[in-house]
């Protein structure tokens, strides 16, 4: 198949690392930024910068229009019903923490259950451990099958009438597993639980429709889809968000203030205390425009072709352990036999190939895999078949190098 | 970069310590200290016996990359039989070496640790090399407080 040809849109990728052309295979950690996003942020600061929702001057209006326009872009992007359901945050972690603090502390009590899976990123695990500690609720985990997927049978065995909240990742950042969110949401709702979805690894790669998924909360980060760091989104159903108290108090989120009390703004602003992340929102809107212009069907096909190609090449090498299911989203987690992933990554880096090595913020999942750490190559719109070839060449070198010294 | 640079990092003596670690195991008596590198998951457990201000025995167990385990092997080897004061001096020497600072061995017996000098050119790996040394400092600290 013909892949997308957009590498030249990403200025960072055009550089030498350790005397080799950079091959960036760490997009699951953070994606590189297209020039249009860099320009949008730069232009915002050059021409439109002002604080939002205050003052009457022209720049203030332009900044407000840009910021609220970005909220409209996100609303349409994930098919939310209303822009008041879109809250700008610092990122996925921050979005999940808002729900844990605001919804969790108010609506979860001793004896309730919070259901997670064994594949959650620390950002969708630790906030719930803390809620359990504060409220006396119990954490339960949907177990994984041998291939790193979950089945609806396990889902049904784990979620009960005591379950108040299900928090689950859409796509695993280690295994690449795509979870059946729609079915889980439907089952959880029948038993009266609300569902939060960690979409950090899904939104960059697939068209997400929160109305179709029918989830109650959906969290994601901008930086993994080409926007700047420090901007993210919490989607929540208005009926729930309206019942929830703000988490951060101060300027911007207030209605009337006296010396001893205050009332708060409506959605979404009651959750956006302080000067918001205006330039970040502008960059996020531009990154979304950029991806939508390419088209998510093309992005998905591109990544699938790259992943399949890399998988077939990896399987031809001896001594490579690959983790995760056959059907996966844009990444391959692996280890070379008898070579620690740090050492693999250092050798790859010496050939200009950037991969992640470590526990990927998933220590319990590493334990489940029975490893202390793994290496991970992740793909995005700008990667090419040649990138995969250079990655495989690098792995051969690593095997040769460590084979020699042993 | 070619294998030349990698050879600087992974010298034969490092690989030898990685593959044939010295002082690997546990000690029944003495003090135990576990330390991990939270960014990567490397984990090291040190067992020290300190008698009258001297490290009379040192062993380690752990999971990690070649650099962190080789460093632990070299560390236990070089501090065994040394006074606590000398062990801390060695740790300072090692830390300075990692940071590329001017070092003066000042009569210290360095064992194999200079083989790790190449790590300073790989900033992302310095934490791997210093893990065992940090654990050793903490173990001595705890012994002082006891």
- Note the Cα A288 to chain centre separation in Å: 14
Beta-bridge mates of residue A377: A332
Quote the longest CA-to-CA distance of chain A.
Answer: 74
Instruction: Say yes or no for a CB contact (<8 Å) between A346 and B128.
Output: no
On whether the CB atoms of residues A13 and A32 are closer than 8 A, the answer is: yes
The pLDDT assigned to B1 comes to: 46
Domain boundaries along the sequence of chain A: 38-292, 295-405
Q: With an 8 Å Cβ cutoff, are B64 and A406 in contact?
A: no
The per-residue pLDDT for A406 is 47
Q: What is the mean pLDDT of residues A263-269?
A: 95
What percent of chain A has a predicted confidence (pLDDT) above 70? 99
What pLDDT was estimated at residue B40?
76
How much is the pLDDT for B30? Answer: 86
pLDDT in tens, A164-218: 999 999 999 999 999 999 999 999 999 999 999 999 999 999 999 999 999 999 9
Q: What is the mean pLDDT of residues A266-282?
A: 97
User: Chain B: which residues have CB within 8 Å of chain A?
Assistant: 1-3, 5-6, 9-10, 12, 15, 19, 39-43, 63-67, 122, 124-125, 128
Query: Is the Cβ–Cβ distance between A198 and A229 less than 8 Å?
Result: no
**Chain A residue with Cα closest to B5:** A350
Give the span between the Cα atoms of A359 and A372, in whole angstroms. 7
**CATH 1.10.230.10 corresponds to the domain B3-141:** no
How far apart CA B97 and CA B113 sit, in angstroms, is 10
Measuring CA to CA, which residue among A303, A301, A314 is closest to residue A380?
A303
Question: Confidence band (pLDDT; 50, 70, 90) for A401?
Answer: confident
Q: Is the pLDDT of residue B135 over 70?
A: yes
pLDDT tens column, A90-145 = 999 999 999 999 999 999 999 999 999 999 999 999 999 999 999 999 999 999 99
Q: Residues of A359-380 as b/e, b for ≥16 C-beta within 10 angstroms?
A: bbbbbebbebbebbbbbbbbbb
Do the Cβ atoms of B1 and A372 come within 8 Å?
no
Enumerate the β-bridge partners of residue A233: A88, A220
Which of B2, B41, B125 minimises the CB distance to A346?
A: B125
Check CB contact of A359 with chain B, cutoff 8 Å.
yes
Residue found under tokens 């295994």: A175
In this structure, the dihedral spanned by the alpha carbons of residues A84, A87, A88 and A91, taken in order and rounded to 10 degrees, is: -150
State the average pLDDT over residues A66-71. Answer: 98
Q: CA A187, CA A152: separation in Å to the nearest integer?
A: 9
The stretch B29-49 carries a mean pLDDT of: 88
The verdict on a CB contact (< 8 Å) between A358 and B40 is yes
Whether residue A405 has pLDDT greater than 80 = no
Cα separation, A115 vs A43, in Å, equals 44
**Residue A321 pLDDT > 80:** yes
Active-site residue A329, yes or no? no
B12 confidence band (pLDDT: 50, 70, 90) = confident
SS3 for A2-65, per residue? CCCCCHHHCHHHCCEECCEECEECECCCCCCCCHHHHHHHHHHHHHHCCCCCCCCCHHHHHHHH
The pLDDT score that the predictor gives to residue A93 is 98
Per-residue confidence band for A148, with pLDDT thresholds at 50, 70 and 90? very high
Q: Which of B48, B53, B52, B54 is nearest to B23 (CA)?
A: B48
Q: Domain A38-292: which CATH class?
A: alpha beta
- The pLDDT score that the predictor gives to residue B2 is 53
Percent above pLDDT 90 for chain A: 96
Whether A18 has its CB under 8 Å from any CB of chain B: the answer is yes
Per 3-state DSSP, what percentage of chain A is helix, strand, and coil (rounded to 5)? 45, 20, 40
Residue position matching structure tokens 């090419």: A384
Nearest-10 crossing angle of helices B84-98, B66-79: 150
State the pLDDT at residue A287: 98
Our CA dihedral for A160, A165, A171, A175, rounded to 10 degrees, sits at -60
| Residue A254 near residue A43 (C-beta atoms within 8 A) | no
Query: What pLDDT, in 10s, does the model give residues B59-104?
Result: 999 989 999 999 999 999 999 999 999 999 999 999 999 999 988 8
- Rounded to whole angstroms, the Cα distance separating A113 from A161 reads 9
pLDDT class of A371 with cuts at 50, 70, 90? very high
In this predicted structure, the answer to whether residue B106 has a pLDDT above a threshold of 90 is no
- What pLDDT does residue A55 have? 75
Sign of the dihedral through C-alpha A305, A311, A313, A316: negative
A248 touches chain B (CB under 8 A): no
Q: Domain A295-405 - what CATH class?
A: alpha beta
Please give the mean pLDDT across all residues of chain A: 96
Do the chains contact at B40 and A357, CB–CB below 8 Å?
yes
What number is the average pLDDT over the span A81-91? 98
């Amino acid at each position: 198949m013909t892949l997308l040809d957009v590498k030249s849109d990403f200025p960072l990728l055009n550089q030498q690392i350790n005397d080799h052309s950079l091959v960036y295979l760490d997009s699951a950690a953070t994606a590189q930024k297209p020039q249009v996003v860099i320009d949008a942020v730069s232009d915002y600061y050059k021409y439109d910068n002002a604080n939002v929702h205050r003052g009457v001057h022209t720049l203030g209006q332009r900044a407000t229009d840009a910021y609220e326009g970005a909220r409209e872009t996100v609303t349409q992007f994930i098919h939310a019903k209303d822009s008041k359901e879109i809250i700008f945050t610092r990122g996925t972690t921050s979005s999940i923490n808002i729900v844990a603090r605001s919804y969790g502390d108010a609506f979860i009590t001793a004896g309730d259950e919070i259901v997670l899976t064994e594949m959650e990123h620390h950002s969708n695990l630790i906030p719930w451990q803390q809620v359990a500690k504060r409220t006396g609720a119990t954490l339960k985990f949907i177990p994984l099958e041998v291939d790193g997927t979950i089945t609806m049978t396990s889902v049904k065995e784990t979620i009960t009438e005591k379950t108040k909240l299900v928090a689950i990742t859409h796509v695993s950042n280690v295994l690449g597993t795509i979870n059946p969110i729609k079915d889980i949401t439907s089952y959880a709702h029948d038993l009266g639980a609300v569902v939060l979805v960690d979409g950090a690894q899904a939104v960059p790669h697939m068209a997400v429709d929160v109305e179709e998924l029918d989830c109650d909360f959906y969290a994601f980060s901008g930086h993994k889809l080409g926007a700047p760091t420090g901007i993210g989104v919490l989607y929540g159903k208005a009926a729930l968000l309206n019942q929830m108290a703000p988490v951060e108090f101060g300027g911007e989120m207030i209605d009337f203030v006296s010396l001893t009390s205050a009332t708060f703004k409506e959605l979404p602003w009651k959750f956006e205390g302080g000067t918001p992340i205006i330039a970040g929102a502008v960059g996020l809107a531009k990154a979304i425009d950029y991806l939508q212009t390419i088209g998510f069907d093309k992005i998905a096909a591109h990544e699938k072709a790259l992943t399949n190609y890399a998988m077939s090449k990896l399987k031809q090498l001896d001594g490579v352990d690959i983790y995760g299911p056959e059907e996966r989203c844009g990444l391959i987690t692996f280890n070379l036999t008898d070579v620690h992933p740090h050492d693999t990554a250092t050798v790859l880096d010496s050939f200009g190939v950037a991969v992640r090595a470590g526990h990927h913020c998933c220590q319990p999942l590493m334990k489940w895999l029975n490893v202390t750490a793994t290496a991970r190559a992740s793909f995005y719109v700008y990667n090419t078949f040649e990138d995969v070839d250079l990655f495989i060449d690098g792995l051969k070198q690593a095997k040769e190098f460590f084979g020699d010294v042993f | 970069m070619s294998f030349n640079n990698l050879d600087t990092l992974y010298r034969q003596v490092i690989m030898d310590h990685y593959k044939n670690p010295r002082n690997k195991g546990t000690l029944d008596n003495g003090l135990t200290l576990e330390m991990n590198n939270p960014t990567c998951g490397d984990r090291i457990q040190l067992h020290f016996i300190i008698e009258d201000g001297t490290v009379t025995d040192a062993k380690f167990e752990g999971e990690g990359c070649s650099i962190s385990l080789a460093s632990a092997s070299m560390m236990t080897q070089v501090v065994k039989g040394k006074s606590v004061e000398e062990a801390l001096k060695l740790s300072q020497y090692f830390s300075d070496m990692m940071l590329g600072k001017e070092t003066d061995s000042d009569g210290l017996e360095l064992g194999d640790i200079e083989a790790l000098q190449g790590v300073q050119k790989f900033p992302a790996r310095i934490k791997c090399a210093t893990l065992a040394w940090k654990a050793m400092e903490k173990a001595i600290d705890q012994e002082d407080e006891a």
